[in-house]
């Protein structure tokens, strides 16, 4: 039976309608991209996200000049926004938050010129085209229709608690441990708005946490415990930028072992694993957990360090400083990157050092050396200077223990390596190519040699001390999480892209721990400096060779107390 002409015409108009094509295109894009490691499909997000996108597309059609290209130009801002969401997830394995948008310029400083040019082409030119298509008379007439969007933004900003309550009632249940999975249920923009409302709500509520009696009593108790120690032992904590163990890539084949023989002889087979809060970037988040002993919940900022004012808060360096330690922080990159100067002061570091090339007029014990073709200071250059510095400190301040904290930068993408100083020794074999992985493997060879020399030097000059070497996060390499999946990292265990190498050397001897979180490291340090009293007093400690699973929400009260005091 033939379709009536009137019905056929309606069906044709529907199938060729710009709104139908726009929605179909968005659904197809997200369905395809999730197959390649992107965020989940838009398909389930019918309660808020899809109606919001359709409304925004309708507004853009009202704003722009009517012509045959209008259906495409009106979609440009939405396509760009979704492109940013998916690129950020592919690169860093997490959902972009509003507070992290303000940090993108800092990230832009350290990417290659090619990446900057590509960004201009893929983002700048489409947005310029959209701007040129605006019809200002139509824009003025349509302004009243912007009110619903403005009201939504206003609710997030002014009435965050009400927004959260409404969101919880009307949207699908969130998955508390995963922004990404929650975005699959409610949508990217919807989750971004929800996270911002939650951040604003939490910030208002932190006022009551500034003088949290439980946290303050715990802080006092631990400092007293440290002060009672007759002889205090030193701690050296090294955070290694994007340090990864190529041997954990079960499916990768290399022409030779990417780990230097010196490192293998010293620490081979003695490494443990630690769970980082981030993948591919966000070193400051890893630092926050390592130094404050609580998960980086991102409730008050996309990066906790960015809201630190320099006010003292209840983190490990302050605990040790109150216990009589000389607290030293060495950062191998530029000052104030991720607000590090204020953050380190608030954490409790009395002396903060950056390369002298970046701090004209400020005291520093080290320089970057020759960074030709590599951009960042080589680990060996940094660690050898720190070793000399610590040796002087030990001689000049015999009666004062040291907390020596370093963070390196050499392993940062794109893993450039100076072939004249550090010739290629490792080749990635097989059909699957990842040039960054090959460069990172060669960097690892030279880095592991430098680290072994540093550990040997420290155990020589300071044998009764604790040395911790921990990677901040895995490098994203060329294809982000997909690289690790393709090479079967750690056999594909759950949460694999957050698992990082960590090494403990106690009193000159390497020891192994169960898999821990970065935020458990302060407990290891405190138990060491108190000679086990910290654990004997009933604190929740880290046991060697055991297994347990932490519930990060249990730390929320302590987290809010730390952040409330950090923002004073």
Tell me the mean pLDDT in the region 253-272. 94
Ranges of beta strands (E only) in 255-412 are 272-275, 326-331, 351-353, 402-407
Max CA pair span of the chain = 98
Contacts of 290 (CB under 8 A, 6+ apart): 237, 239, 470, 518, 519, 521, 522
pLDDT band at 40 (very low <50, low <70, confident <90, very high): very high
Q: What is the DSSP string of 467-495?
A: EEEEESS---TTTTHHHHHHTTBGGG-TT
pLDDT of residue 6: 57
User: Which of 302, 192, 279 lies closest to 482 in space, CA to CA?
Assistant: 279
pLDDT of residue 118: 84
Distance in angstroms (rounded) separating the CA atoms of residues 33 and 40: 8
Contacts of 263 (CB under 8 A, 6+ apart): 448, 449, 451, 452
pLDDT band at 548 (very low <50, low <70, confident <90, very high): very low
pLDDT of residue 8: 62
Question: Does 554 have pLDDT greater than 80?
Answer: no
Best CATH choice for the domain 230-539 from the list 3.40.50.2020, 3.40.720.10, 3.40.190.10, 3.40.50.880: 3.40.720.10
Provide the H-helix boundaries in 159-212.
160-170, 179-186, 188-205
Question: Does 454 have pLDDT greater than 60?
Answer: yes
Which range (87-96, 404-413, 473-482) has the least confidence?
Answer: 87-96
Higher pLDDT pick, 303 / 376: 376
Provide the H-helix boundaries in 230-364.
261-267, 283-292, 316-322, 340-347
Is 68 exposed, middle or buried (CB count within 10 Å of its CB: 0-12, 13-18, 19+)? exposed
What pLDDT digit, counting tens, does each position of 72-118 carry? 999 999 999 999 999 888 876 678 888 777 666 766 666 677 878 88
pTM: 0.80
Higher pLDDT pick, 299 / 391: 391
pLDDT band at 9 (very low <50, low <70, confident <90, very high): low
Domain-wise residue ranges, the chain: 13-206, 230-539
Cβ atoms of 337 and 106 within 8 Å: the answer is yes
User: Which of 344, 280, 331 lies closest to 500 in space, CA to CA?
Assistant: 280
Tell me the mean pLDDT in the region 451-466. 97
Cis ω for the linkage preceding 414 (within 30 of 0):
yes
B/e letters for 264-298, b = 16+ CB within 10 Å, e = fewer, are: eebbbeebbbbbbbbbbbbbbbbbbbbbbbbbbbb
User: Which of 103, 547, 517, 539 lies closest to 297 in space, CA to CA?
Assistant: 517
Cβ atoms of 327 and 320 within 8 Å: the answer is yes
Tell me the mean pLDDT in the region 493-499. 91
Distance in angstroms (rounded) separating the CA atoms of residues 505 and 373: 33
What is the DSSP-derived secondary structure letter of residue 134?
B
pLDDT of residue 553: 58
User: Which of 479, 525, 19 lies closest to 279 in space, CA to CA?
Assistant: 479
């Amino acid at each position: 039976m033939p379709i009536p002409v009137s019905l056929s015409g309606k069906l044709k108009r529907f199938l060729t309608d710009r709104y139908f094509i726009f929605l179909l295109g968005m659904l197809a894009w997200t369905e395809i991209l999730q197959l390649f490691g992107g965020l989940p499909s838009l398909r389930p997000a019918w309660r808020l996200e899809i109606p919001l996108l359709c409304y925004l597309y309708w507004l853009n059609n009202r704003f722009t000049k009517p012509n045959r290209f209008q259906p495409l130009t009106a979609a440009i801002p939405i396509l760009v926004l979704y492109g940013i969401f998916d690129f950020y997830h592919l690169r860093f394995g997490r959902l972009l938050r509003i507070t992290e948008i303000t940090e993108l310029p800092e990230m832009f400083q350290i990417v290659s010129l090619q990446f900057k040019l590509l960004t201009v082409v893929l983002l700048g030119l489409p947005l310029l085209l959209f701007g040129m298509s605006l019809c200002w008379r139509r824009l003025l007439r349509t302004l009243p229709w912007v009110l619903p969007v403005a009201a939504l933004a206003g609710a997030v900003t002014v009435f965050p608690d009400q927004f959260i309550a409404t969101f919880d009632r009307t949207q699908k249940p969130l998955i508390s441990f995963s922004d990404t999975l929650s975005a699959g249920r409610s949508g990217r923009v919807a989750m971004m708005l929800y996270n911002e409302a939650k951040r604003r709500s939490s910030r208002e509520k932190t006022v009551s946490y500034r003088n949290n009696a439980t946290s303050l009593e715990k802080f006092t108790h631990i400092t007293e415990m440290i002060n009672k120690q007759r002889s205090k032992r030193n701690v050296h904590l090294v955070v290694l930028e994007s340090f990864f163990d190529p041997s954990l890539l079960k499916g990768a084949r290399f022409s030779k072992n990417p780990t230097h023989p010196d490192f293998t002889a010293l620490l081979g087979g003695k490494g443990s694993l630690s769970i980082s809060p981030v993948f591919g970037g966000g070193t400051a988040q890893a630092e926050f957990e390592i130094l404050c002993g609580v998960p980086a919940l991102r409730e008050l900022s996309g990066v906790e360090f960015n809201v630190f004012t320099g006010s003292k808060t209840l983190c490990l360096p302050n605990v040790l400083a109150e216990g009589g330690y000389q607290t030293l922080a060495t950062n191998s990159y530029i000052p104030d990157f991720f607000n590090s100067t204020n953050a380190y002061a608030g954490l409790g570091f009395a002396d903060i050092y950056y390369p002298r090339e970046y701090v004209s007029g400020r005291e520093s014990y080290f320089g970057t050396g020759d960074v030709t073709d590599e951009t960042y200071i080589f680990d060996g250059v940094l660690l050898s200077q720190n070793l000399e510095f610590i040796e002087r400190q030990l001689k000049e301040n015999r009666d004062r223990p040291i907390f020596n904290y370093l963070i390196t930068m050499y392993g940062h993408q794109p893993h450039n390596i100076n072939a004249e100083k550090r010739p290629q020794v490792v080749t990635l074999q097989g059909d699957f190519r990842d040039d960054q992985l090959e460069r990172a493997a060669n960097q690892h060879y030279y880095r592991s040699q430098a680290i072994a020399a540093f550990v040997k030097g420290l155990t020589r000059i300071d044998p009764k001390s604790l040395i911790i070497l921990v990677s901040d996060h895995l490098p994203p390499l060329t294809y982000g999480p997909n690289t690790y999946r393709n090479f079967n990292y750690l056999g594909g265990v759950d949460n694999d892209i957050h698992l990082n190498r960590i090494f403990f050397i106690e009193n000159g001897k390497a020891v192994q721990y169960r898999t821990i979180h970065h935020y458990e490291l302060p407990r290891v340090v405190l138990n060491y400096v108190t000679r086990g009293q910290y654990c004997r007093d009933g604190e929740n400690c880290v046991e060697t060779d055991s297994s347990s699973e932490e519930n990060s929400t249990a730390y929320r009260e302590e987290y809010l107390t730390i952040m409330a005091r950090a923002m004073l």
